[in-house]
């Protein structure tokens, strides 16, 4: 275990976080919120000083392997969250530190779960930091680090594999740093485009920025107490499109950028993803139409918005879907688990894993009928190696085990089973709102500190695809001879 290299990278991560806090500090100054500026400034100074201590001495041995890559990934998100929570805590807007950590972890992991009943009391500066954390965490903070700091040549892939969502990660270009730059270039300019579009749809510049950050990171933090309900129908349609776009694998946008339109259109995962969205939205619209006086346009509008919000794990809401019929809520629950495409900013199990699992079931059934048959699973026209199938199966087993343990862990609080079950589903899949007492018009404030810690770990495990978080809790990870 290259401990010195881990400390060195963590130092750079904290220095980067200090730099990122300058933006919300500027926002606080514009709105003359000196108290928010001071709280953010203290947080930035602490992050910078600790980060500088970590980078004073560059390690002699800069190589690192899978174990170090996964540990660096998990610890980076942990230390960023512990420091990132300080502005909320120092300002007194979230006076309980565990609550502040829950809120910022929800931001960085693009979950959108909140302990706040009213968000507007945070002020513009802290609301900006809260929403900006979605944008930072959406593509991944270490992917951002790789764009500016060559950490160890080809070894950078170890970090990228640990942080990037999906069953398999490949380089779009030969060098990992160039892949990271290509991803962030697409991410950045898409965000800029949506800020402009939202602004011209009638939103204020502040709202346009924050909603664009939330859509880009598929996060879901709102800047108004009413959530998305106060925006015009036109703006809500635009937000729906933005959420769906960020739920697509970014490799598709890279192919479009390189004018490989045929390859982009042949993306099997994207086609299945959009098919699920369309089928789910139409079914829900038909199911809830009687609730809204038979208004087909109204029901289609809100069903598409809600489906897009939940399958991309964004968590924005225009109305209380917890009041919908049970059939519609079952569809929504499936979407929470399914999630968006691999290589997107969305959470959940991922559409590619769902496809692989169903194809594996089909393959096993075929082998039962024809024992001599030889059949390989293919995705995007390419043969899926057995190691990938095994990793998908392993991921599903770990997912189920952690889910069961988490539901049990928070069940000692006073909430009913539906609330606890959906709370874990919403945090583990990085969605935000659940059902029952954690529905779209409620929050997580009433959970105990122990439950909040469990749900915070679930958010991190869900965003980092379980393995990095599990590894830091394993004693063998830290043994020098392993």
pLDDT, tens digit (0-9, with 9 covering 90-100), for 281-328: 999 999 999 999 889 999 999 999 999 999 999 989 888 898 999 999
Give the model's pLDDT for residue 392.
Answer: 86
Q: Is residue 143 pLDDT above 80, yes or no?
A: no
Structure tokens at 398: 């770990």
What does the pLDDT read at residue 409?
Answer: 96
Facing residues of 382 across strands? Answer: 379
Summarize pLDDT for 394-450 with one digit per residue, the tens.
889 999 999 999 999 999 998 999 999 999 999 999 998 888 899 888 899 999 999
- Give the burial class of 286: count Cβ atoms within 10 A of its Cβ; 0-12 exposed, 13-18 middle, 19 or more buried: middle
Measured in degrees and rounded to the nearest 5, phi and psi for residue 268 equal -65, -40
Which of 137, 23, 161 has its CA nearest to residue 76? 137
The C-alpha atoms of residue 116 and residue 442 are separated, in whole angstroms, by 9
The mean per-residue pLDDT over the stretch 17-24 comes to: 95
* Torsion over CA: 269, 274, 277, 278 (sign): negative
Q: Structure tokens of 291?
A: 């609730």
The segment with the largest mean pLDDT, out of 218-227, 256-265, 440-449, is: 440-449
Angle at 291 between CA 290 and CA 293, to 5 degrees: 60
Residue 482 has pLDDT above 60, yes or no: no
Lowest mean pLDDT among 248-262, 332-346, 468-482: 468-482
* CB-facing half-sphere around the CA of 149: CA atoms within 13 A: 18
Selection from 45, 15, 96 nearest residue 446 by Cα: 96
State the chain's maximal CA–CA distance in angstroms. 74
More confident residue, 85 or 8: 85
For residue 262, name the pLDDT band (cuts at 50, 70, 90): confident
Place 142 in a pLDDT band, splitting at 50, 70 and 90: low
pLDDT bucket at 174, cuts 50 / 70 / 90: very low
Q: Which is higher by pLDDT, 59 or 399?
A: 399
Least confident piece of the model among 117-131, 165-179, 300-314, 426-440: 165-179
Confidence of residue 226 (pLDDT cuts 50, 70, 90): confident
The pTM assigned to this predicted structure is 0.90
Q: What is the pLDDT, as a whole number, of residue 243?
A: 95
Q: CA nearest 265: which of 244, 251, 279?
A: 251
> What is the pLDDT, as a whole number, of residue 111?
92
Q: What is the mean pLDDT of residues 80-107?
A: 96
> What is the reported pLDDT for 91?
95
CA dist 216 and 188 (Å) reads 9
| Segment 182-211, tens digit of pLDDT | 888 899 999 999 999 999 999 999 999 999
Over residues 30-45, the pLDDT tens digits come to 999 999 999 999 999 9
Report the pLDDT value the prediction gives residue 149, as an integer from 0 to 100: 59
pLDDT classification of 158: cutoffs 50, 70, 90: low
Q: What is the pLDDT of residue 168?
A: 54
Distance CA 295, CA 288 (A): 10
Rounded (10°) angle between helices 66-84 and 97-108: 130
Tokens of 158: 């170890």
Q: What is the DSSP letter of 118?
A: -
Using left for φ > 0, alpha for ψ between -120 and 50, and beta otherwise, residue 423 falls in alpha
pLDDT of residue 481: 55
Cα–Cα distances (Å) from 377 to 97, 342, 363, 374, 389, in that order, read 48, 17, 7, 10, 9
| Structure confidence by residue, pLDDT tens digits, 467-481 | 888 888 887 777 765
CA distance 404 to 410: 10
Q: Is the Cβ–Cβ distance between 51 and 11 less than 8 Å? A: yes
Over residues 448-459, the pLDDT tens digits come to: 999 999 999 999
For residue 382, give the DSSP letter.
E
Cα 474 to the center of its chain, rounded Å = 24
pLDDT at 69: 77
Residue 170 has pLDDT above 60, yes or no: no
- Let me know how long the chain is: 482
Average per-residue pLDDT in the chain? 87
**What's the average model confidence in pLDDT over 10-31?**
94
Instruction: Give the Cα separation of 322 and 339 in Å (integer).
Output: 19
């Amino acid at each position: 275990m290259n401990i010195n290299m881990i400390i060195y990278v963590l130092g750079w991560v904290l220095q980067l976080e200090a730099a990122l806090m300058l933006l919300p500090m500027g926002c606080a100054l514009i709105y003359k919120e000196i108290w928010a500026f001071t709280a953010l400034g203290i947080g930035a100074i602490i992050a910078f000083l600790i980060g500088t201590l970590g980078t004073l001495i560059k390690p002699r041995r800069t190589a690192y392997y899978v174990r170090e890559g996964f540990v660096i990934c998990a610890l980076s998100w942990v230390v960023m969250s512990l420091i990132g929570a300080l502005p909320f805590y120092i300002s007194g807007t979230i006076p309980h530190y565990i609550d502040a950590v829950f809120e910022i972890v929800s931001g960085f992991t693009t979950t959108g779960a909140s302990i706040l009943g009213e968000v507007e009391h945070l002020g513009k500066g802290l609301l900006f930091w809260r929403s900006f954390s979605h944008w930072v965490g959406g593509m991944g903070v270490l992917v951002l680090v790789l764009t500016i700091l060559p950490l160890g040549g080809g070894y950078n892939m170890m970090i990228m594999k640990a942080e990037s969502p999906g069953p398999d990660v490949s380089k779009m270009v030969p060098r990992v740093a160039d892949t990271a730059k290509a991803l962030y270039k697409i991410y950045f300019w898409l965000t800029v485009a949506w800020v402009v579009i939202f602004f011209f749809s009638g939103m204020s510049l502040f709202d346009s920025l924050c909603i664009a950050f939330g859509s880009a990171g598929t996060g879901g933090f709102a800047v108004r107490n009413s959530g998305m309900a106060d925006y015009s129908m036109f703006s809500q349609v635009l937000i729906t499109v933005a959420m769906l776009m960020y739920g697509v694998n970014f490799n598709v946008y890279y192919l479009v950028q390189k004018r490989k339109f045929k390859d982009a259109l042949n993306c099997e995962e994207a086609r299945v993803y959009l098919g699920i969205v369309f089928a789910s939205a139409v079914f829900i619209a038909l199911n809830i139409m009687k609730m809204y006086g038979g208004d087909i346009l109204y029901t289609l509008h809100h069903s598409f918005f809600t489906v897009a919000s939940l399958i991309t794990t964004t968590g924005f809401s225009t109305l209380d879907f917890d009041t919908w019929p049970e059939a519609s809520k079952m569809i929504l629950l499936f979407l929470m688990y399914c999630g968006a495409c691999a290589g997107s900013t969305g959470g959940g199990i991922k559409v590619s894993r769902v496809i692989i699992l169903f194809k594996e079931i089909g393959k096993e059934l075929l082998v039962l009928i024809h024992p001599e048959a030889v059949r390989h699973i293919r995705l995007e026209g390419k043969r899926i190696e057995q190691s990938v199938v095994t990793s998908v199966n392993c991921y599903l087993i770990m997912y189920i085990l952690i889910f069961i343990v988490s539901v049990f862990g928070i069940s000692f609080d006073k909430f009913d089973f539906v609330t606890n079950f959906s709370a874990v589903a919403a945090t583990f899949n990085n969605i935000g709102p659940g059902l029952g007492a954690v529905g779209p018009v409620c929050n997580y404030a009433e959970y105990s500190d122990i439950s909040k810690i469990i749900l915070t770990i679930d958010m991190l495990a869900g965003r980092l695809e379980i393995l990095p978080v599990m590894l830091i809790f394993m004693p063998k990870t830290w043994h020098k001879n392993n």
